[in-house]
């Protein structure tokens, strides 16, 4: 689902104009970005938590040339799903 499809789906559920939903979504994403940059955790009760974590410096090996490269530390966003979402996903059929 892309950005426009998400806005259309939300507008249909809210029975609201797409322009209002788009503005709300943009402000939500912008606020989440600001909070994550500040190092805060964002939690959505039945969805999960987003938090910034530091990945430590590590040594990487190129598989074809075997050249070793030092990968510097960096900050990444981590998502941990809620138990509610986890249980809903367990109910889905598996395609094996």
pTM of the model: 0.78
Asked if residue 48 lies in contact with residue 80, where contact means CB atoms within 8 angstroms, the answer is yes
pLDDT per residue as tens, the chain (96 positions): 999 999 999 999 999 999 999 999 999 999 999 999 999 999 999 999 999 999 999 999 999 999 999 999 999 999 999 999 999 999 988 765
Domain parsing of the chain, residue ranges: 3-90
β-partners of residue 50 are: 42, 79
Which whole-number Å values give the CA distances from 96 to 85, 93, in the listed order?
21, 9
Does CATH number 4.10.520.10 belong to domain 3-90? yes
């Amino acid at each position: 689902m892309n950005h426009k499809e998400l806005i259309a789906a939300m507008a249909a559920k809210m029975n609201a104009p797409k322009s209002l939903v788009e503005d709300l979504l943009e402000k939500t994403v912008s606020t989440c970005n600001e909070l994550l940059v500040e190092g805060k955790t964002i939690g959505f009760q039945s969805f999960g938590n987003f938090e910034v974590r530091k990945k430590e410096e590590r040594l990487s090996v190129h598989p074809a040339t075997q050249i070793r490269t030092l990968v510097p530390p960096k900050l990444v966003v981590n998502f941990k799903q809620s138990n509610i979402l986890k249980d809903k996903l367990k109910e889905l059929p598996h395609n094996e």
